[in-house]
Amino acid sequence: MARTAMSPATRGEPAQEPKRSVDELRGTWLRAFRRVRAETEARAAHLSAEDQIVQSMADASPTKWHRAHVTWFFEQFLLVPNDPSYRIFDERFPFLFNSYYVAAGPRHARPQRGLITRPNGEDVAAYRAHVDAAVERLIERVPAAEAARVFTIVEIGLHHEQQHQELLITDILHAFAQNPTDPAYDPKWQVPRATQGPRGYVEIPAGTHAIGHDGDGFCFDNETPFHDELIPHVRLARHLVTNGEWLEFIAAGGYATPSLWLSDGWTTVQTDGLQAPGYWRNKDDSWHVMTLGGLKPVDRATPVQHVSYYEADAFARFAGKHLPSEAEWEVAARTNVLADAFGIAWQWTRSAYLPYPGYRAAEGALGEYNGKFMVSQMVLRGSSLATPEGHERVSYRNFFYPSARWQFSGLRLAEFV
Ligand SMILES: [Fe+2]
């Protein structure tokens, strides 16, 4: 998927400024490239070769595929068009590792990515090394007149890779959750601690508020144009909904009360037999949840995760509240009044994933990144515990189908005044 700030822009790097020399920018992008590529490998290093080939459902991709696909992205969109001396690593790879870019050619069926045992992990490591060397060479040697355009493609490739770093984690958790031995992705992983402090609501005055990306630095095209939204007088919960609150929903028969649910949501409750959030299991008469650290008792103070839009909506109705719109969320987040806006769970909003007024996707294959998905999905805001450092942004728009539960997806409530 596509989704955040990397003016060399990840945290710890200086912001890109017009006055900086091309040579300075070469150094900045080289460091950013190496850092992001290394983070992918660091995440994969927790996993065995067997772990890295499994695909537990059509929506989730194998780790090995993620590692190769983000590499193909640089090969296809950066190296082939901009480096006449570049040699494709393996002519079979574009078919295997193109995700959804129709303009970039035919591709392997997504649900069958887990059947590709060859190329093996070592082949993919060699592919990554080949492309790493070529990208670094291009960053160092691209003519000054071409540098700005080339660095822009490097930047989007790095943000793209960061998105896949998050998916690598969410996808392997789904795979491990199918395993009766409850494997831990990282035995040292800790349950995220929510911000303490008084609960309650923060107020947003009615009126016209501007949202979208409005500054320097990177954003995805779906965060533009910066524009005005008319917002009613609304209050947003300062905190995320917790597991303890969700246990009350379960105890009150939330999953057995059709009047709380959207029709499509009630269908999923019945057909999938839903009784609790994703990865929850009743063991020895108490709720446990599959986490990156293996199976753990459900902690009441931790924000709930792995709920679908349908579940979030039903909970809000149960609580006599609503989900915030994405504009309400962004206006509140811009004033820094929300606890845990970032870093624990993406937050479902009641906003459909639609283009902002005046949005147009770019020409060419990269125009397929976001725009063509603007139907039938819902927007989530914030970021999660799996989001790479520096990838979050207040204007960031994540999006998933309303039934999706394998992301680190939670919610905060809203009420109208
Ligand atoms: Fe991708």
Cα 23 to averaged position of ligand 1 atoms, centre (Å): 29
Distance (angstroms) between ligand 1 centre and the Cα of 69 equals: 7
In this prediction, residue 18 carries a pLDDT of 54
Nearest to 194 by CA among 249, 240, 238: 240
pLDDT tens-digit profile of 189-212? Answer: 998 899 998 899 999 999 999 999
CA 70 to ligand 1 center in whole angstroms: 6
164 C-alpha vs ligand 1 centroid, how far in Å?
7
Distance 154 CA to ligand 1 centre (A): 14
The 3-state DSSP composition of the chain as helix, strand, coil percent (nearest 5) reads 40, 15, 45
Question: Position of tokens 């998933």?
Answer: 400
pLDDT, position 4: 33
CA–centroid distance, 120 to ligand 1, in Å, is 20
What's the CA-to-centroid distance between 99 and ligand 1, angstroms? 6
pLDDT of residue 7: 35
How close is the Cα of 1 to the center of ligand 1, in Å? 5
Give the pLDDT of residue 5: 32
The per-residue b/e assignment along 229-251, b for 16 or more CB within 10 angstroms, e otherwise, is bebeebbbbbbbbbbebbbebee
pLDDT given at position 10:
35
Token digits for 358? Answer: 């005046």
CA 234 to ligand 1 centroid distance, Å = 36
What's the CA-to-centroid distance between 205 and ligand 1, angstroms? 38
Give the Å distance between the CA of 162 and the centre of ligand 1: 10
Residue 261 CA, ligand 1 centroid: distance in Å? 33
Q: What is the pLDDT of residue 215?
A: 83
Q: What is the pLDDT of residue 8?
A: 34
User: Which residue in this structure is represented by tokens 């606890």?
Assistant: 339
CA of residue 284 to ligand 1 center, whole Å: 41
Q: How far is the CA of 81 from the centre of ligand 1 (A)?
A: 18
210: three-class secondary structure by DSSP: strand
Segments of the chain with pLDDT less than 70 = 1-19
What distances in angstroms separate CA 74 from CA 83, 98, 161, 284, 372, one per listed residue? 11, 11, 10, 49, 21
Cα of 263 to ligand 1 centre, how many Å?
32
DSSP class of residue 11 equals T
